[in-house]
Structure formats: C-alpha cells, structure tokens
Amino acid sequence: MEESHAILIRRNRWSETSWIVTWLTRDHGKISTMARGARRASSPHAGKLDLFYKAEISYAVSRKSPLHTLRELHVVEPFDASATSCANVFVAGYFAELTDLITQPGDPVEPVYDLLDRAIGFLRARPASVRALEHFESELCRLSGIHHSLASLETYCGRIPASRQMALDLLRK
C-alpha cells in the first residue's frame, strides 16, 4: 500500500459505477488508479473525486499493470468550480492537461507537483490572468529543463493542449 498527497488531474468513466482517475502525486509522480464503485451514491469516494481536488490518497500498487487500485482518500482542499469564474476553470484545466503531457507515469516530480499545487491554489483565490498562465508555462519549462517558448513546449510535449487557446480567449474578453 502506498500513500501520498495528490492532485486529481484527469478522470475517465470506466463503467457504470467506476472511474479511472489520474493523479499527480508528491512522492510517486503521475499515477492512475481505478476507483471501483466510486460513481455510486453510497460509495465512500462519492463526491470526493473531482478535478483539481487536493487529497491524501492510499492505493494498492498493481504488479501487472500501471493501473493501481484506489483504497482511501481524504480531500484536503476541494476546487469549487461553481464559486470561481469559467476562465479559472479553463486555466486550471490547461494546467492539469499540460502537466499530464509533460510528466511520465511513476517518475517522481515533486517540484512540478508543488508548481501545480501553487497554481491551483492561486486559481482558488484570485482571478486567472494571461500573466499567470504564462508564468506557469515558464516555470514548467524551467523545471523540465527546456527553453521557455511555445515552440519548445510543443516539441517537448508533442502538442500544445487546445485548452490553452480556449483559456486565452476567455481571459482576453
């Protein structure tokens, strides 16, 4: 059983009752967990698996697959999308998607975790801005050892997420 602080960066429906959840963890990097039965109202995970939530998680490591089993989670800081602007949600989505692209499963990336944690915390408390978006990109490039330019980022990641342009369009209104 492994434990770590984690930020939920992606959630995919697996079945009528289960999610596959991708986390960026402080200690173990990016991991994916199966949250069996979490879509049921009676599940202990119900309402706790939302995007950008910061949590303490424990999971059973799979020996045969990169998909582990989520056992327990305690939400430390929720991200209340209804209490923030649409632009903040889009920017948070872009940050999560870019972090997902730039990190490898199981590769410890504590500085990247800390950057994403600070960025999501900023978006919980303040309005998103173009400057904040560009600062996140710049810091992520620095931590990854690449020159900060959109072209360098695109080369490193393979693509720039479409959510970047959507977030910029909302910020420039």
Q: Is 161 helix (H, G, I), strand (E, B) or coil?
A: coil
Query: Quick one: DSSP state of residue 62?
Result: P
How much is the pLDDT for 69?
A: 92
How much is the pLDDT for 117?
A: 97
Who contacts 55 (Cβ-Cβ below 8 Å, separation ≥6)? 5, 6, 7, 8, 48, 73, 74, 75, 76
CA distances to 66, 87, 130 from 172, in Å:
40, 10, 8
The CA distance from 153 to 13, in Å, is: 29
Domain boundaries, the chain: 2-77, 82-171
**In a structure prediction context, what are the per-residue pLDDT tens digits for the chain, which is 173 residues long?**
899 999 999 999 999 989 899 999 998 999 999 998 888 888 888 788 999 999 999 999 988 888 999 999 999 999 988 778 889 999 999 999 999 999 988 888 899 999 999 999 999 999 999 999 999 999 999 998 888 788 888 888 888 999 999 999 999 87
Q: Is 31 helix (H, G, I), strand (E, B) or coil?
A: strand
Q: What is the CATH number of domain 2-77?
A: 2.40.50.140
Region of 47 on the Ramachandran plot (φ > 0 left; ψ -120 to 50 alpha; else beta) = left
How much is the pLDDT for 152?
A: 86
How much is the pLDDT for 73?
A: 93
How much is the pLDDT for 60?
A: 92
How much is the pLDDT for 110?
A: 93
How much is the pLDDT for 99?
A: 95
State if pTM tops 0.85: yes
